[in-house]
Structure 1
């Protein structure tokens, strides 16, 4: 079952409660509904985590944690999925979001200079930011909803496959019992 797969990699709530940096939110972390591993909670956690990961904002993990608390979905999954946009992947993902926003607004995308610097980004931010925000919001919604749907379909497929295996095992057990008589 997919639940076993996720339980293998997720931390236990008690270990997180004991950490000094998380004592302030310990009562929130201890909420059992944030640690449930069901099809709905895992799929919604993927939706929240992927949505938060594609937003060009600081403190994406806080947004993901708040979204998990609001939707009562799995907290560690939603916060962990934010790391899809890590320092290595962030420039590529956000440039893709910028290109999507430029395409949606029918504006020409600016070419990055040969030597990318923070000075160039600061100068161009007024023009880049609205396009980046639009592209990021659209991609965040689409990827979040697609992640939710894909996880629900995979979960359903896995459960149906395990039911089918059990049914075949029962049939084989009955046949061998009849053959033994």
Structure 2
């Protein structure tokens, strides 16, 4: 993974510490181990962030921050990846998780109404919740593992490609100097 690209978009810890709303997290934000951009910290951040994003719970960002602290992975990346499930994508993702859970539990799937509302969800929460929880847990684990493996392989491929390019440049310079 291009470390410079990730660093370009990451906020600086001092900028976050100066915000009043985040002062209670000063110890967490100020921990330099949670801002490292290495293959392991980025891969684990993808796992933590996407795992937290698939959970149908409030405060997903807090769960991702705690997960980043526990696994010592990149904090801003883990917290920002929670936004995969934003207000636009959340209904689709959680409905797909519900359908997966219903399929795994071998229970009939309740079709979504033409107009999804909180009232409809509240009425059927007892029927929906077990399948949604199971589907979300399975999706979260599968996505976390796939993301971790993909990031590690992509990072390794990028480093290997950079080494080969550097080796070709050095050989070309050595050949030019020999002539």
Aligned length, in residue pairs: 179
Segments of 5+ residues of structure 1 without an aligned counterpart are none
Paired position in structure 1 for 2:116: 116
Paired position in structure 1 for 2:126: 126
| Aligned pairs for 1:90-109 within 5 A | 90-109=90-109
Paired position in structure 2 for 1:50: 50
Displacement after TM superposition at 1:115 (Å): 2.9
Structure 1, residues 56-104: CA drift from partner, whole Å, max 9, x if none? 0000000000000000000000000000000000000000000100111
Structure-2-length-normalised TM-score: 0.98
Segments of 5+ residues of structure 2 without an aligned counterpart are none
Paired position in structure 1 for 2:80: 80
Structure-1-length-normalised TM-score: 0.97
Bigger Cα displacement from structure 2, 17-26 vs 79-88: 17-26
Runs of 4+ in 1 over 3 A off after TM superposition: none
Displacement after TM superposition at 1:25 (Å): 1.1
Task: State how far apart, in whole Å, the 2-side matches of 1:97 and 1:24 are.
Answer: 34
Displacement after TM superposition at 1:112 (Å): 1.4
Q: Root-mean-square deviation (CA), in Å? A: 0.8
Displacement after TM superposition at 1:23 (Å): 0.9
